[in-house]
Amino acid sequence: MIISVASGKGGTGKTTVAVNLALALQPDRPVQFLDCDVEEPNAHFFLKPRIEESVEVFTPVPEIDDKLCTYCGRCAEVCAYNALAVLKDTVLVFSELCHGCGACRLFCPEKAIREVGKRIGVIESGQAGRIRFGHGRLDVGQAMSPPLIRALKKKMDPEWTVLIDAPPGTSCPVIESLKRSEFCLLVTEPTPFGLHDLELAAGAAKEMKIPCGVVINRASLGNGDHAVRDFCAREGIPVMMTIPFDRKIAEAYSRGQTIVETFPAYRKAFLELFESIGKSLS
């Protein structure tokens, strides 16, 4: 089973839920954990993996052969991302905009374009106890994270239970992270911002036809959880778990400690969460 943990809003506890779910499952079933928040991965702070492999990731960008190019402008016409600009006697390549689709090379009538690799980051993988761990690290200054996420997800083993820690938001990196997921666990908080972004994230999952459920973190913070529950009831989305607003949990988090390690009684709650996901898919 491939489960993505997303949130819409950052800071809701998405990584907390993903990490603790992985640790709760660890003794009984093989778990693979992929941190797809490649711009700011942080699951390793809690899982403390032993990194065994580091692989550079490159994305193809066009390089123009001035000896063959006639500056006809065909490459710029077919580029959907405006990564090329053809002037009178030169072609400007904006590599930050290039998505590596290869259309410019394919449609160049003079075969004057070749693709060269541009490094965008690294993928690190290893073991965290019995958990197979992997995350991506996007290089500073790089704007395109989906190619790095795609490279990381190639390591998915469908024979294992795969947990994907998705980036916050609902933009391209999140969509790339959610692809191929069988279930999306949405983590929210009982605040107006949390509800607003939950609605966006739930809409994205619905558009991708991925069944989802909700975890309300810091559930006893104010009384905003009523609005979250009302939204879930209207949309037919089950609230599968609640985590209270507990200072002791926050203190443990600040020390890099997980809930199930600090408060073993929570392991049963996370196992029940996993069982609820399985039942919803059966």
Instruction: Locate 140 and state its tokens.
Output: 């500073």
- Give the β-pairing of 91-93 and 84-86: antiparallel
pTM summary value: 0.91
131, amino acid identity: I
The pLDDT assigned to 41 comes to 95
DSSP states along 241-276: EEE---HHHHHHHHTT--HHHHSTTHHHHHHHHHHH
In CATH, what number does 2-57+122-281 get?
A: 3.40.50.300
The Cβ of residue 94 has, within 10 Å, a number of other Cβ atoms equal to: 13
Whole-number Å distance between alpha carbons of 13 and 47:
15
Whole-number Å distance between alpha carbons of 99 and 101:
6
For 243, phi then psi, to 5°, come to: -120, 125
Identify the bridge partners of residue 84 per DSSP, sorted by sequence position.
Answer: 93
52, amino acid identity: E
Residue by residue, pLDDT tens for the chain (282 residues) are: 999 999 988 889 999 999 999 999 987 889 999 999 999 999 999 999 999 999 999 999 999 999 999 999 999 999 999 999 999 999 999 998 999 999 999 999 999 999 999 999 999 999 999 999 999 999 999 988 999 999 999 999 988 999 999 999 999 999 999 999 999 999 999 988 999 999 999 999 999 999 999 999 998 776 668 889 999 999 999 999 999 888 898 899 899 899 999 999 999 999 999 999 999 888
* Fold match, 2-57+122-281 / 66-111: no
What kind of fold does domain 66-111 have according to CATH? Alpha-Beta Plaits (3.30.70)
Single out the residue of 42, 36, 59 nearest to residue 142, CA to CA.
Answer: 59
Domain boundaries, the chain: 2-57+122-281, 66-111
> Residue 236: is it exposed, middle or buried by C-beta count within 10 angstroms (0-12/13-18/19+)?
exposed
